[in-house]
Chains A and B, each alone.
Chain A
Amino acid sequence: MDNVQILTGNQAAALGAKLCQVQVVSAYPITPQTSLTEVLSHYIEGGELQAEYVRVESEHSAMTVCIAASTAGARVFTSTSSHGLLYMHEQLHWAAGSRLPIVMCCINRGVGAPWSIFNDQQDSIAQRDTGWIQIYCRDNQEIIDTVIQAYRIAEAVYVPVMVCYDGFVLSHTTMPVRIPDERDVRAFLPSYQPHTILNSQEPRNINPVIFPWRRMDAEGCLRDGYMELRYKLQKALEEAKPVIGKACSDYTAIFGRVHEGLFWRYRLDDADALLIGMGSLATEATMAVDRLREQGVKAGVLGVRLYRPFPREEIKNCIGQRKALLIFEKDISYGYEGALCSDVKAALYGSEVKAPVHNFICGLGGRDVKAEELADAVKTSLKMIGAGNLKQQTIWLNCRTEKSNDGQSF
């Protein structure tokens, strides 16, 4: 019998962490992550979860607690949003550089100034170069399942994992969620084996100053320099892809649910126009595709789940000979274009793929994005492409400054 509960995204994430029997939790409340920390507090104070909850005074300290506790050998969990994530920035690098299997939920929210508490993905996209694995969830079921998978992945490759999901759109919206059985989770997730043990029998100085070059240790053994450690981190992320794929297929075998590891597809097989996006925006795109299909447009969705490491080859192969790429995203790399757009295009470089690209910046700071608007934008783009205009466009969808309305009907 399936155990189905009606949960918000934050409740689903908290329950996922609980099912993984995390041993140390540390977090600082921030909208829209707050209720996640509250649920975990209830679990721990109520004795449902045997864990230490360190109620820190900042996000910087929250990630620090996770780093130190994980080094000591505990399974740790934290979560944050927006400015909290930015405040952790230094520690995100430190966590990945330390090769610690920390799992964190990032409940995506726009970044100030000026203040916005509403959803976009600028916060986590701005952290893409910190060495973390980033996975974006499309609904609350995927949140709980991904948190559980994240520990398996992180502890296998010793790289921290950020489970990203959209603030309010998912964090505060209730949906039916199938709750994994605790014993099944234990079977899926082996216990955490730390790569370093802090003890006096074998005293070590962890993360000291390191030279650019390799250097002999006291026994005459040549040890890595800074470059070698960075290369190993890069390798670990690249090699995480099959591990993630395996974690997802093992998950399906035990729990029955399919979450394609790297990206998911919706009505894709015969699609000429490919809508590409991440998180709940990609879910929204599936509804746009349904409308477009009704109107005879052969459209489909490629929902990017794994953003780092970026599934370059797999995405290139999936795009193949499609006629148009419509990349929707809730972030902007200022002075250039959407970050996902750059990544997708880079994946195609040197290949036979020549499909024109339209990049849509949308939903920033919580600006509503309707399926109908996505469908209309696709139709307008396809018209332009059909008329022979193959140049890349970067379009701010639904942005109504005087300038943006000059003749373009997006």
Chain B
Amino acid sequence: MTDNLFKISEREYILPGNRACQGCGLSLAYRHALKALGENTILTIPASCLTVLHGLYPITSVEIPCLNCTFASTAASASGLVAGLKALNRNDVTVVAVAGDGGTYDIGIQALSGAAERGTDFIFVCYDNEGYMNTGTQRSSATPPGALTTTTPVLTKQEPKKDMLKIMEAHGLPYIATVCPSYPLDLHEKFTKAKSVQGTRYVQIYAPCPPGWGYLPKDTVKIGRLAVETGIFVLFEIEDGRFRLTGRSRVLAKKGKRVPVSDYLKAQGRFRQISPEQAEKLQRSVDGRWDEYVKRAGK
């Protein structure tokens, strides 16, 4: 079932020389996501790192039409595009909203919940770099506990990460998937599937961020792999309520052994102040969630 390299389009929708940071996990994921979505797509994006990647007027690095929208309004903007296109009988276009964790978990959650509840026919993509990275690494509700940010500069974030995936699942969506740029084939396959489904689809990208997380740009793929190997981030999809582990997470559940979370923490400067108690608690919560996922996946 897994896509192979030969199925991935050679066409690039992100032109070289864009303004994303070196080693940006988002741009890596975005490149493959757009290949899967193809050109008959309309994007809508709020203020975020992605605005920067898309470029400054009058030059853009992305060859897909895009409507920029305000921070809180992403999913509503997608709803308007869907309604407008439908009114004009343009039924062959995939509307895709892409927001960061701030634009999804926090300021954008109301519009997202509304659009999801209405069953709006679009894909909402959250690229989760676990903080307000475009404004320079402030805490978000997606920031993991123990991380230093510029608004938790001494004590680190104390609260657990919000479980956005559960919130989205509670909306009864036809398709939910998690993807990581370190596993582009898994990512490509899920975006291809998301495109084929009707209704509100939610895809969450784990997006490693070199400047925000404190690691070298060359290590983005490695950090992404560590996240999956430890179970910090789990690759799965939920199709009409059926939960399925995918890719490396599936293999790990079957026969592998997860790497300790401490390896993941040590690789990133943002966790340099994490207390042993916080680290241990994080390990326990990762273990608990992993067991839950494995149990759900069954056999």
Contact = CB atoms under 8 A, between A and B. Distances in A.
Partners in one complex: yes
Contacts of A61: 73, 75-76, 79, 110-111, 114
B165 interface: no
Given A55-B118, A200-B40, A211-B57, A69 B84 contact: yes
Contacts of B69: 64, 67-68, 94, 207
A68 B84 contact: yes
A207 B68 CA distance: 5
Interface stretch (B21-29, B48-56, B245-253): B48-56
Interface stretch (A70-78, A121-129, A136-144): A70-78
Given A61-B111, A90-B70, A215 B57 contact: yes
Given A90-B70, A207-B68, A217-B58, A60 B81 contact: no
B111 A60 contact: yes
Contact of A56 (B56, B63, B114): B114
Contacts of A207: 67-69
Interface in A317-368: none
Interface residues of A, number: 46
Nearest to A61: B76
B65 interface: yes
Interface in B29-77: 39-42, 44, 51-52, 54-60, 62-70, 72-73, 75-77
B88 interface: yes
Given A200-B39, A217-B58, A206 B67 contact: yes
B198 interface: no
A218 interface: yes
Nearest to A210: B57
Contact of A208 (B68, B70, B117): B68
Contacts, number: 165
A68 B67 contact: yes
Nearest to B54: A205
Contacts of A216: 58
B113 interface: yes
Contact of B60 (A70, A71, A208, A211): A208
Nearest to B87: A23
A94 to B, nearest CB: 6
Which of B58, B60, B87: most chain A CB closer than 10 A? B58
Contact of B81 (A68, A199, A223): A68
B256 interface: no
B111 A205 contact: no
B61 to A, nearest CB: 9
A52 B86 contact: yes
Contacts of B65: 198-200, 202-206
Contacts of A24: 80, 83-84, 87
Nearest to B85: A72
A159 interface: no
Contact of A209 (B42, B56, B83): B56
A211 B19 CA distance: 15
Interface residues of B, number: 45
Interface string B225-247: 00000000000000000000000
A204 B63 CA distance: 8
B114 A217 contact: no
Given A65-B80, A67-B77, A223 B58 contact: yes
Contacts of B221: none
Dominant SS among interface residues on chain A: mixed
A91 to B, nearest CB: 7
A57 interface: yes
A51 to B, nearest CB: 7
Contacts of B209: none
Which of A24, A54, A68, A208: most chain B CB closer than 10 A? A68
B125 interface: no
A54 B59 CA distance: 33
B59 A217 contact: yes
Contacts of A199: 65
B111 A74 contact: no
B118 A54 contact: yes
Contacts of B79: 26, 54, 56, 61, 64-65, 68
Contact of A52 (B67, B83, B117): B83
Contacts of B40: 200
A283 interface: no
Contacts of B72: 60, 90
A66 interface: yes
A34 interface: no
Nearest to B75: A61
B118 A64 contact: no
A58 interface: yes
Interface in A212-245: 215-218, 223
Nearest to A229: B57
Nearest to B40: A200
A130 to B, nearest CB: 13
B78 interface: yes
A395 B190 CA distance: 67
A94 B44 contact: no
A146 B67 CA distance: 30
Contacts of A218: 58-59
Contact of A198 (B42, B54, B63, B114): B42
B84 A74 contact: yes
B110 A54 contact: no
A218 B58 CA distance: 8
Interface of A: 23-24, 26, 51-52, 54-58, 60-62, 64-74, 76, 90-91, 94, 198-200, 202-211, 215-218, 223
6 contacts: A91-B73, A198-B65, A203-B63, A209-B52, A217-B59, A218-B59
